[in-house]
Amino acid sequence: MVDGTTSTGELPDGLTSAEVGMWQAFRNGSVYDLRSGDAAVDDPHGGHPWGPERSVRARIVAWLLLDGPPALPGRVSSLKLFGVQIVGVLDLAGGLVLPYVELKGCRFEKEILLPEARLTTLRLLDCSIPRLEAARLHTEGDLHLARCRLQHGIRLTDAHIGTDLLLNQAVVYRDRRSRAIMGDGLSVGQDLQAELMESYGELSLRGAQIGVSLSLRGSRLFHPHGRRALNAPQLTVERSLYLTPASVADPVLTSGATPARGTRVQRFECHGGIRLDDGRFGDAIDMEQARFVLENDQEVSLRRVQTPELRFLGERPQRGRVVLSGARIVTLVDKAASWPRAGGLSMGGFSYESLVPRGPFSLSLRLEWLAAATPEYNPEPYEKLAAVLRSSGEDAEARVVLLAKQRRRRATLPLAAKLWGYAQDWTVAYGYRPGRAALWMAVLWAASAIAFSHASHPPIKAEEHPDWNAPLFALDLLIPVINLGQDGYWKLHSGWQWAAAVVICLGWILATTVAAGATRLLRRG
């Protein structure tokens, strides 16, 4: 039983010796440190028991924070506990907590309840916590949970964090609904840093808003048997999302920075699906060296995301799918080895304005990339790539892409149209290689001229005919519509009539394909 008032600062009756020390340290604004100095004993996540000499009741902690005694003259009251065990449920739901709170290396026997609470700054560092319930929590400053271990998850639904939310090196296990972190509707004024974090369950950030950047550098998300390990549709990040490596040498000093060359790093890994559909990212989505371990029915889904830059530079997923349908990107930075193989990529309606390949990415590999995204023929990805190449001045490569599009289309056509397609391909490459038509015409004209120079050619009318000219006669047969004054004046016999008919037919085919190709070029593919 604890009695007494705090208005005068006098100690209430019924406090334990550990609670008396905490009470006095609170009024003095000083650290209350109950650590023994033995690392194994002081480990809050270890199995060594802590006795009553290191334990305080949760309701006494709540009393201090909600209605604590005044500070000593010249001091600012605050709760700073190191190596302390908090017994019972710490219930601050709906409360207004004004003192600064920092707990380091502490053990919580039961969950922390912070729904609807309002705090300035709350720092929990390297603490063992069964569960944190903090829906609609409001902090003016930071919420720190770095290196904490939470056995049954975190709930931050619709919470508002005034500055930074730090989860660096935290280990978070799932709750009864297989969710490790529930942050739907979460608002963070500046950065959300969850670097080198381990999450065993779904990390849900649906509709969350991050004021600066969201960093999951070096983190490992595990939810292989659920649908998604990261579920964050309609996420808004004012700057960048980082799914990149982090230094493990000194994560505090290197937090938020790219690891220096030679530093031992841990890359981002996700064992389960990722959903970032309809997200908005002000600077970039960075997937440098990211590793996605997916089941066949899981996806890295970027449907309809909008960002100036997508850096798709991770390891190729062996299963599952990467979906970019409807995404709008300005610059796509990618590697050939990062994209999934045929059947593992979908990008209908994917829009990008420039390509910046990292490492070798030949046009033939880029066409394989398109083929992987279109197991069934779809002209749109080919036309988009051709437009991007043309805008960067690569007209020849754009024509190669459009030719590949026509060849893919040809495979879907009925037999007659397919044969006509082969004719266009062999003659003028669907109009994308117009020089080939001139070559065919020249070869056919030369062959015809030589052949007809040996043909018997009596005139149809003895008194009205020009002089015989085999090259002009061959050209007159070869070019339709135009009359060069040779065809129609000479009579051919037997096989030469068939030869003339073949030349006329080939001339019409070449002329038609040239016209089709010219029309296509005028329309710019």
Higher pLDDT, 446 or 114: 114
Residue 304 carries which side chain, given as an amino acid letter? Answer: R
CB-CB neighbours of 493 under 10 Å: 10
CB-neighbour burial class of residue 134 (10 A; exposed 0-12, middle 13-18, buried 19+):
buried
Residue 172 has pLDDT above 80, yes or no: yes
Q: Per-residue pLDDT tens for 193-246?
A: 999 999 999 999 999 999 999 999 999 999 988 889 999 999 999 999 999 999
Tokens of 293: 């371990």
Q: Per-residue pLDDT tens for 131-167?
A: 999 999 999 999 999 999 999 999 999 999 999 999 9
Q: For the residues 69-73, what does the mean pLDDT come to?
A: 93
Q: Residue 501 is inside which H or E element, if any? A: helix 495-522
Q: For the residues 357-371, what does the mean pLDDT come to?
A: 89
- Of 138, 124, 130, give the one whose Cα is nearest residue 154: 130
Contact 346, 368 (CB under 8 A): no
Residue 376 has pLDDT above 90, yes or no: no
Q: What is the largest CA-CA distance in the chain?
A: 140
- Of 317, 339, 195, 333, give the one whose Cα is nearest residue 267: 195
In whole angstroms, give the CA distance from residue 486 to residue 469.
8
In whole angstroms, give the CA distance from residue 17 to residue 295.
55
Contact 280, 302 (CB under 8 A): no
Single pTM value for the model? 0.81
Dihedrals phi, psi of 27, to nearest 5 degrees: -65, -30
In whole angstroms, give the CA distance from residue 63 to residue 17.
16
In whole angstroms, give the CA distance from residue 155 to residue 271.
21
Residue 435 has pLDDT above 70, yes or no: no
Q: How much of the chain is helix, strand and coil, in % rounded to 5?
A: 30, 25, 45
347 DSSP assignment:
-
- Of 357, 382, 387, 384, give the one whose Cα is nearest residue 370: 382
In whole angstroms, give the CA distance from residue 260 to residue 10.
54
Task: Quote the pLDDT of residue 253.
Answer: 44
Dihedrals phi, psi of 31, to nearest 5 degrees: -75, 135
Q: What is the mean pLDDT of the chain?
A: 87
* Per-residue pLDDT band at 309 (split at 50, 70, 90): very high
In whole angstroms, give the CA distance from residue 152 to residue 128.
11
Higher pLDDT, 295 or 522: 295
In whole angstroms, give the CA distance from residue 333 to residue 311.
5
